[in-house]
Amino acid sequence: MIEILLRLLRPRQWSKNGFVFAGWLFGGYLCEFHMFSLACGVFVVFCAISSAVYILNDIVDRERDRLHLRKRQRPLASGEVSVQTALALGMTLSTGALLGAWALGLSTLLCVALYVANNLFYSIFLKHVAILDVLSIAFGFVLRLVAGVYVLGELPTAWVVMCTLFLAIFLGIAKRRAELRSIGGQEALQRPVLSDYSIIYLDNLLSTAASMTILSYALFTVDSGKNPTLIITLPIVYYAIMHYKRLVMVSEYGEEPDKILFKDRLIPGLILLWLVTYFVIEYLGIHLLR
């Protein structure tokens, strides 16, 4: 039973909550354990509340999930877990997350409350409206990011919010494309909003989002007050985005971004290379450009 409940919580999706560590990583707090512990607290809170949201979505979508080749194996769709049990678990997680957020501060509590409200609107309405469905998902990533910054007593910069927003939009569109590709003519039954998309249209959106993500990061490196030598990391970001785009458009991956993160060996390597290069330039104060 424990294994089934863990599947209901979708712990693999918790990797998305890693965005809460951005404030600690890039705010100059790498060697401050207290700041790291605060970021970890926000991470735990978002793991709990995101699992509660996944439970809500699974309850709402359980009939449609039964029509999906893969999603029919989910605990609620398969009948392995009752709706009553799922609701009890979801309420417990939500209560714990809100109490934890309150303990971390008003700003963290507000971000978590907005995350819950956004996902409620998503489950009830926004996931049925093209474009707004992806923007709602992207807003969730931004809330993770800013919560991880606010808990440190800092304000997030417009640059980091913009980069995160477009990256999340890019990932969301990639997911929609893979979903449409995988279910073919059954989109009206399994995810009605896919009827308002087409592969060609999503390819155009994907290209635009990829360009905006790269452009946002490029502008961040040269116009945010950071060391302009960080522009050296741009080719790494460009290659990572284009590689992901190729996986989605050519190799037909992308329905679950977290799966690509763990299955594709190149992307984790590119992320590590980018982080190492970024921190070497920042912390060693390497200035090659102005």
Alpha carbon distance 136, 260 (integer Å): 22
Q: What is the pLDDT of residue 257?
A: 61
**What does the pLDDT look like over 252-267, one tens digit per residue?**
665 566 666 667 788 8
Alpha carbon distance 254, 172 (integer Å): 9
Co-location of 58 and 121 in the same domain: yes
Co-location of 125 and 50 in the same domain: yes
Domain count, the chain: 2
pTM confidence score: 0.88
Alpha carbon distance 248, 173 (integer Å): 10
Cβ(138)–Cβ(181) under 8 Å? no
Co-location of 25 and 117 in the same domain: yes
pLDDT above 90 as % of the chain: 50
Nearest Cα neighbor of 96 from 56, 150, 51, 153 is 51
Q: How many CA atoms lie within 13 A of 248 on its CB side?
A: 30
Co-location of 138 and 5 in the same domain: yes
- Domain extent, residue 263, equals 157-290
Co-location of 22 and 146 in the same domain: yes
Q: What is the pLDDT of residue 264?
A: 78
Q: What is the pLDDT of residue 175?
A: 87
Co-location of 4 and 148 in the same domain: yes
Angle in degrees, CA 120, 122, 127, rounded to 5: 150
Which CATH number do you get for residue 145? 1.10.357.140
Co-location of 104 and 206 in the same domain: no
Q: In terms of DSSP H, where are the helices of the chain?
A: 2-9, 22-26, 33-65, 75-78, 83-104, 106-124, 132-150, 158-183, 187-190, 199-223, 234-249, 257-263, 266-283
Q: How confident is the model at residue 278 (pLDDT cuts 50, 70, 90)?
A: very high
Q: What's the rounded mean pLDDT across residues 116-143?
A: 92
- Tokens 């409940």 belong to residue: 5
Reply yes or no on whether the pLDDT at 37 is more than 90: yes
Cβ(246)–Cβ(253) under 8 Å? no
Reply yes or no on whether the pLDDT at 141 is more than 80: yes
**What does the pLDDT look like over 179-199, one tens digit per residue?**
888 765 555 556 778 888 888
Nearest Cα neighbor of 166 from 213, 107, 233 is 213
9-18, 60-69, 169-178 — which is least confidently predicted?
A: 60-69
Co-location of 278 and 239 in the same domain: yes
